[in-house]
Amino acid sequence: EFLQHVRNELHFLTGRRTDILSHALLNTVVKNFGFRGSKFQKDSEAFLKHYYLQARRISQILETILIRRRSETRRSFNWLGGRYSPFGAPQKKKASSQIEHSRFLRSPEKWMQHFRYGQSQGVSLDEPTRTTIRQTLPQFKQAAFSTSALAADFRAILRNKGKVAQVIRQMHDLGFLGRVLPEFGRLTCLAQHDLYHKYTTDEHTLRALEILDEIAQGQGTSHGPYQKVLNEIHDSSTLYFALLMHDTGKGLGGGHSSKGALLVRRAASRLGFDPDEGEKIQLLVQHHLLMGHVSQRRHLDDSHTIEEFVKKVQRPDILNMLLLITYTDAQAVAPGVWTDWKDYLLWDLYYKAYDRLMFTQGISSSARAELETVHQQVAHLLKLEIDAATIRKHFRLMPEKYALYTSTSQIVKHLRLLPQLEEVPVVLNWEGHPDKGYTDLTLVTRDHRGLFAQIAGTLSAFNLNILSAQLTTRDDGIVFDQFQVGGQAGNYRLHQQDYPRVEKL
């Protein structure tokens, strides 16, 4: 009924049939409906929360109907009778089933066991069980959701890398997660009225967990480097819990990171995390925006910047988890928010902070071994074109971590372009990717004041954006810059016939 009233209001305001509640119309609709927020909530956010709660309820009803329709083919399990069934059908006589059903109703601990079992088997609770949980939740006092056995099973779920998000989402959909973690339950359908956040706070968090699962499973080439870091984390429950709780301070006024850190420390203790783990979790929530802020807004070649950052991070294991939280949090905000340039900056900060934490001004031993491998690969690929001394000189003049940040193919390209600099002042190399909407531009020249501004201005003349950039300067002043350029809003507007015109500018 509420959604129908909103729809009618939109038709009345626009004078036509439209079902899109745009940002331009939202404040007028909120005012006409008489919604009032609170000290920490805008009127529009109060309206949106109510709106999303109604839409969520409709979605749950439709999902229930669809699941029942598919029950004969969908793989699920029914624990009301204590047995696994691929069709979710009871396998005991009615009287016995009713007894087991009664036992099931008395124990939220049992519910958590069922979620854990479903995770291990890759299956979901069947619809009768889901309905039972949803309807029975109000009957239990909060103490029933704070037992040590329930907490132990919940932590076991968080330790299962790559398989966490689906079961957490199911718990949340049923209202069970909000009883285990009231701090998170408060975020249900919590909206932020701005152009930056596309999702409600709870949905944003669930999507961040899904991205972390994708990293663990090795899905997507862009996640590859992050999987390497995730594999170094033995007990992932700390990481998953910090990510799950990172925005629990929202809706309580400004400074949500600090407020969330206070909430999460108590929640961690309640769920059986030891003091050291609780301190890690609190630190991760407190500083979950720090790495993105420093990498994108501070000068990373300033040793003071790195020193300040390292003092807050304190330990390599926290740095690893903070890297993953920063990445998954940003990826889950909205499509297109994360770019290759932001990714490059994040890794630049990570490597510099990691090396500082490992008490060396250079690079760690493992990274040094990786550098040597890259050097050998480049020498092998160019052995018939460029002498070994020239290759060694190139690496010697470059920043030591150049080979860590730059792909082998790109290093080979740099060395092949370098001789052309003896004939022309600027060497340009183009590689178009029409299917992806961008062009790779590699530039080799001698450094001079205002070079980047000159490049940006030239590209702007063609209505092009710099989507990402990797800027590297040798000790002898030769610049190797790599750009990804594309049109406004991601449209591909640079064509091969444009290359000479850009070069003339």
Is residue 271 within 8 A of residue 154, CB to CB? The reply is: yes
Edge to edge, the sheet with strand 464-473 lists 426-433, 438-446, 478-487, 464-473
The three state secondary structure string of 193-244 is: CCCCCCCCHHHHHHHHHHHHHHHHHCCCHHHHHHHHHHCCCCCCHHHHHHHH
- Closest Cα partner for 48 from 27, 62, 79? 27
pLDDT digits (tens, 9 = 90+) for 445-477: 998 877 777 777 777 776 677 766 777 889 999
Q: Give yes or no for residue 492 having a pLDDT over 60.
A: no
Is residue 259 within 8 A of residue 180, CB to CB? The reply is: no
pLDDT digits (tens, 9 = 90+) for 399-418: 877 887 788 989 999 999 99
Task: Provide the pLDDT for residue 395.
Answer: 95
DSSP type of residue 137: G
Band the pLDDT of 88: cuts 50, 70, 90: very low
Phi, psi dihedrals of residue 25, rounded to the nearest 5°:
-95, -15
Q: Give yes or no for residue 84 having a pLDDT over 50.
A: no
Task: Provide the pLDDT for residue 335.
Answer: 82
**Chain mean position to CA 156:** 22
Is residue 78 within 8 A of residue 88, CB to CB? The reply is: yes
Is residue 150 within 8 A of residue 109, CB to CB? The reply is: yes
Percent over 70 (pLDDT), the chain: 83
DSSP type of residue 78: B
> 434: phi > 0 → left, psi -120 to 50 → alpha, else beta; which?
alpha
Counting Cα atoms < 13 Å in the Cβ hemisphere of 216 gives 20
**Chain mean position to CA 447:** 36
Please tell us whether the domain made up of 108-360 is placed in CATH 1.10.3090: yes
pLDDT digits (tens, 9 = 90+) for 248-282: 998 887 789 999 999 999 999 999 999 999 999 99
**Structure tokens belonging to residue 76:** 């699920």
pLDDT digits (tens, 9 = 90+) for 167-199: 999 999 999 999 999 999 988 888 875 656 678
The span from the CA of 73 to the CA of 75, in Å, is: 6
Is residue 284 within 8 A of residue 296, CB to CB? The reply is: no
Band the pLDDT of 112: cuts 50, 70, 90: very high
Q: Give yes or no for residue 85 having a pLDDT over 50.
A: no
Band the pLDDT of 96: cuts 50, 70, 90: very low
Phi, psi dihedrals of residue 432, rounded to the nearest 5°:
-85, 145
**Structure tokens belonging to residue 208:** 């961040």
240-261 as b/e, with b when 16 or more CB fall inside 10 Å?
A: bbbbbbbbbbbbbeeebbebbb
The span from the CA of 357 to the CA of 319, in Å, is: 9
Calculate ∠ Cα 225-230-235, nearest 5°.
175
275-293 as b/e, with b when 16 or more CB fall inside 10 Å?
A: eebbebbbbbbbbbebbbe
Q: Give yes or no for residue 375 having a pLDDT over 90.
A: yes
For 424-504, CATH number out of 3.30.70.260, 1.10.290.10, 3.40.1350.10, 3.30.230.10 equals: 3.30.70.260
**Chain mean position to CA 140:** 34
Is residue 386 within 8 A of residue 415, CB to CB? The reply is: yes
Tokens 């291990």 map to which residue? 120
Q: Which residues pair with 285 in a beta bridge?
A: none
Band the pLDDT of 349: cuts 50, 70, 90: very high
Our CA dihedral for 323, 214, 330, 437, rounded to 10 degrees, sits at 120
Is residue 118 within 8 A of residue 77, CB to CB? The reply is: yes
Q: CB neighbours of 422 closer than 8 A, spacing ≥ 6?
A: none
Phi, psi dihedrals of residue 251, rounded to the nearest 5°:
85, 5
Task: Provide the pLDDT for residue 135.
Answer: 87
Q: Is 77 helix (H, G, I), strand (E, B) or coil?
A: strand
Is residue 479 within 8 A of residue 447, CB to CB? The reply is: yes
Band the pLDDT of 140: cuts 50, 70, 90: very high
Task: Provide the pLDDT for residue 501.
Answer: 56
